Chain A
Amino acid sequence: MIEPNRQGEVWVFAEQEDGSLHDVALELCGKARELADRLGVQAGAVLPGSGVGSLANKLIGHGADKVYVVDDQRLGHYQTGSYAQVLRELIEKHRPQIVIYGATPMGRDLAPRVASSLRAGLTADCTDLEISDVTDPKTKTDHLNLLLQIRPAFGGNIIATIVNFDRWPQMATVREGVMPLREADASRTGQVIEEKVEIDPAVMAVKLIERHIEPRKINLKGARVIVAGGGGIGSKDNFELVYDLAGAIGGAVGASRAAVDGGLIGKEHQVGQTGTTVRPALYIAVGISGAIQHRAGMEESAKIVAINTDREAPIFSVAHYGIVGDFKQVIPMMIKAIKEK
């Protein structure tokens, strides 16, 4: 456990795999920049890996003032033990006030191990981070500029705001895709700092035997427009209409869990709490009732259109435009209108 360090930097764990940065690392650099500006401190990124130094500039372009590079052959493949040791040692040395990680399979494996070894707090799967003054209701003490860690909880039925009063660093994992991925600013400059960590052979307890990574075929997160179908689509044949609309409008095809579980479409299309979180410019929900778990993954979309036969469907509560009707009639009319525009 480390005492609060109000001059501490705002850090991002720069997740990379096989020498390429995960989008979430860049999203978080943008957020760290914003938080650091609010606090009047610097934003840093921690980049462990092997031969990864060339990635530092990209992190700087997305908002980091400093990149702490830990380049070591033994860090070539992600391992909980070695990466946790690197993070822990650097945090103890530099005492950042905030450390954020992507809530990816890697980030959710690493961050709790680091938090436990520091006896620090950790909030999982945040969808927003803010800086605010908070009064401890117990001691009536005012705490200035705390990190508000905002996350859905209880199956997405509530939004909880978590704070750490006096046991820092303040750490959180942040869901992919919820912080906007901004354009890199090539004119930004920053400092690249080489750090050495003597990796304890005892922490390298897990040996990689075999690995099979599938390239991501569907880029839902990067899509400007998403047309998504739900259980109400009913059949694979009917899903063709969803594809047709996506084709006409220039969008990607998404789906609700009901559609995926019903075998109408593959899981890689799933939007929602257990699928991908998206925030496109336009989200068209067709035959999706809008269970809370689905809404949690798409309600940040800039414009939402819902088409559903059920006037009471919860999806309408988050939609900017609603059409109560049968998609089998509405979609062809929309395609026609798009062609006329």
Chain B
Amino acid sequence: MPYDSVVCVKQVPDTANVTADAMREDGTVNRGALPAIFNPEDLHALETALKLRDNHGGTVTAVTMGPPKASEILRECLYRGADRAILLTDPRAAASDTLATSYILSQAVKTVGQFDFAFCGRQAIDGDTAQVGPQCAEKLGIPQVTYLEDVVQVSGKTARIRRNVGHGWEVVEVQLPVLATVLETANQPRPPAARRVMRLKKAQTRAELTGIVRAEMPEASNEDREAEVQRRADALKERNLLIEQWNLDDIGADLSRCGLSGSPTKVHRIQSIVLRKEGHTELPATEEGARQLIRELVVDRTLG
């Protein structure tokens, strides 16, 4: 039988390659200075859903929450084979912590409609919290299976999933629908399909059109710009190239649970890592240097 999947994806700054120019003098990170990438584990979540569809039929819907620029990764999802992509963008969602984010995402997933599987990457590399997946599952009122490495078997409304528990693995059986968080060891994500890239590279969200029109018509009135956005959106829609876009009202979100007001945790302080050690001793790479090192380690009782 066919299975419908929803995949939650996120665009993240490439924190694995932070250079000095990405740090401001006050120690905060200048996200703008970092390239924005598809969160690595989310690509594996997408691949898990696509494989399931290859084998059993059904649909794959990608959802992301973020600024208009996040539309980029939705195109990436479409290139790889997603049937549908949705951008959830709303300034009122800014500054959401993991609890508020999971609330918003769960509302978006509910709005997508019936599904059998929801997949997320285990964690996003900007926060590394791994909290949004389980919190989303709780809000959807469905079981969660974290650290998925393989969907071993699906039959009827039951799935068997192998999960990595750190020092081993286990296979669990779960009733659908289920939310699973996926590890990068789960699979090898497929590359974008050339034919789909050709067909879908012009796919855009309304938020992107708004940005483009604002840049192209700086002198125009708001009304004229809005009319131009509408014209372009209609043209894209006709060719099936308008990527869906929702705001918090579209998903029936309770605003008190979104953004700053929906976030119990607050950032109190941010410090950049200071690279310095007091009392650093450099020793020569000689026999005497080695002897001195061992002697000092014995004297301060580090070595017995």
Q: List 5 A-B contacts (CB under 8 A).
A: A81-B143, A211-B168, A216-B167, A321-B280, A323-B289
B264 at the interface (CB under 8 A from A): yes
- A-contacting residues, B59-110, CB 8 Å: 97-99, 102
Interface string of A285-302 (1 = CB under 8 A from B): 000000010010000001
Asked if A124 and B280 sit within 8 Å, CB to CB, the answer is no
B267 at the interface (CB under 8 A from A): yes
Known A116-B134, A320-B280, A336-B290; judge A155-B126 contact (CB<8 A). yes
Asked if A323 and B297 sit within 8 Å, CB to CB, the answer is no
Asked if A314 and B275 sit within 8 Å, CB to CB, the answer is yes
Between B18, B127, B297, the greatest number of chain A beta carbons within 10 A of the residue's beta carbon is seen for: B297
Residues of B within 8 A of A207 (CB): 172-174
A161 at the interface (CB under 8 A from B): yes
B277 at the interface (CB under 8 A from A): yes
Q: In the assembly, what is the distance between CA of A249 and CA of B293, in Å? A: 13
B129 at the interface (CB under 8 A from A): yes
- B-contacting residues, A57-84, CB 8 Å: 80-81, 84
Chain B residue at minimal CB-CB distance from A123: B265
B195 at the interface (CB under 8 A from A): no
Asked if B264 and A105 sit within 8 Å, CB to CB, the answer is no
A329 at the interface (CB under 8 A from B): yes
Q: In the assembly, what is the distance between CA of A128 and CA of B289, in Å? A: 36
B119 at the interface (CB under 8 A from A): no
Known A80-B134, A336-B290, A337-B293; judge A213-B168 contact (CB<8 A). yes
B27 at the interface (CB under 8 A from A): yes
Chain B residue at minimal CB-CB distance from A110: B134
Asked if A292 and B273 sit within 8 Å, CB to CB, the answer is yes
Number of interface residues of B (CB under 8 A): 82
Contact of A161 among B142, B268, B297 (CB under 8 A): B268
- The minimal Cβ–Cβ distance linking A230 to chain B, given in whole angstroms, is 17
Q: Is the interface of B mostly helix, strand, loop or mixed?
A: mixed
Interface string of A148-160 (1 = CB under 8 A from B): 1100111111111
Asked if B173 and A155 sit within 8 Å, CB to CB, the answer is no
**Beyond A106-B165, A321-B280, A340-B294, 10 extra complex contacts between A and B, CB < 8 Å:** A122-B265, A123-B265, A154-B18, A161-B269, A161-B270, A162-B265, A164-B265, A205-B174, A322-B283, A337-B293
Asked if B270 and A323 sit within 8 Å, CB to CB, the answer is no
- A-contacting residues, B217-271, CB 8 Å: 257, 263-271
Q: In the assembly, what is the distance between CA of A108 and CA of B183, in Å? A: 14
Chain B residue at minimal CB-CB distance from A335: B290
Chain A residue at minimal CB-CB distance from B29: A154
Stretch at the interface among B3-11, B47-55, B144-152, B206-214: B144-152
Contact of B15 among A124, A154, A316, A317 (CB under 8 A): A154
Chain B residue at minimal CB-CB distance from A316: B280
Q: In the assembly, what is the distance between CA of A80 and CA of B161, in Å? A: 15
B139 at the interface (CB under 8 A from A): yes
Interchain residue pairs A-B with the least CB separation, the first 7: A325-B285, A155-B15, A121-B264, A213-B168, A167-B264, A124-B129, A205-B143
- The minimal Cβ–Cβ distance linking A137 to chain B, given in whole angstroms, is 9
Asked if A109 and B146 sit within 8 Å, CB to CB, the answer is yes
Residues of A within 8 A of B188 (CB): none
A6 at the interface (CB under 8 A from B): no
Contact of A209 among B130, B132, B160 (CB under 8 A): B160
Q: In the assembly, what is the distance between CA of A330 and CA of B293, in Å? A: 11
Residues of B within 8 A of A333 (CB): 285-287, 289-290
Residues of B within 8 A of A149 (CB): 265
Known A125-B128, A322-B280; judge A341-B268 contact (CB<8 A). no
Asked if B268 and A210 sit within 8 Å, CB to CB, the answer is no
Residues of A within 8 A of B144 (CB): 80, 109, 113
- The minimal Cβ–Cβ distance linking B282 to chain A, given in whole angstroms, is 5
- A-contacting residues, B151-184, CB 8 Å: 160, 164-175
Asked if B127 and A124 sit within 8 Å, CB to CB, the answer is yes
Residues of A within 8 A of B131 (CB): 108, 111-112, 115, 122, 124
Q: In the assembly, what is the distance between CA of A165 and CA of B261, in Å? A: 12
Known A156-B273, A211-B168; judge A162-B268 contact (CB<8 A). yes
Residues of B within 8 A of A282 (CB): 297, 302-303
Q: In the assembly, what is the distance between CA of A165 and CA of B97, in Å? A: 14
Residues of A within 8 A of B56 (CB): none
Asked if A162 and B135 sit within 8 Å, CB to CB, the answer is no
Asked if A119 and B99 sit within 8 Å, CB to CB, the answer is yes
Chain B residue at minimal CB-CB distance from A325: B285
Asked if A122 and B168 sit within 8 Å, CB to CB, the answer is no
Residues of B within 8 A of A134 (CB): 268
B295 at the interface (CB under 8 A from A): yes
Residues of A within 8 A of B137 (CB): 113
Asked if B143 and A109 sit within 8 Å, CB to CB, the answer is no
Between B170, B172, B268, B269, the greatest number of chain A beta carbons within 10 A of the residue's beta carbon is seen for: B268
Residues of B within 8 A of A316 (CB): 280
A281 at the interface (CB under 8 A from B): yes
- B-contacting residues, A249-299, CB 8 Å: 249, 273, 281-282, 292, 295
Q: In the assembly, what is the distance between CA of A111 and CA of B131, in Å? A: 8
Chain A residue at minimal CB-CB distance from B272: A158
Residues of B within 8 A of A205 (CB): 142-143, 174-175
Known A206-B145, A211-B168; judge A321-B296 contact (CB<8 A). yes
Known A205-B174, A337-B293; judge A159-B125 contact (CB<8 A). no
Asked if A212 and B169 sit within 8 Å, CB to CB, the answer is yes
Residues of B within 8 A of A167 (CB): 264
B193 at the interface (CB under 8 A from A): no
Chain A residue at minimal CB-CB distance from B290: A333
Q: In the assembly, what is the distance between CA of A322 and CA of B300, in Å? A: 17
Asked if B297 and A322 sit within 8 Å, CB to CB, the answer is no
Chain B residue at minimal CB-CB distance from A81: B143
Chain A residue at minimal CB-CB distance from B102: A116
Chain A residue at minimal CB-CB distance from B31: A154
Asked if B97 and A121 sit within 8 Å, CB to CB, the answer is yes
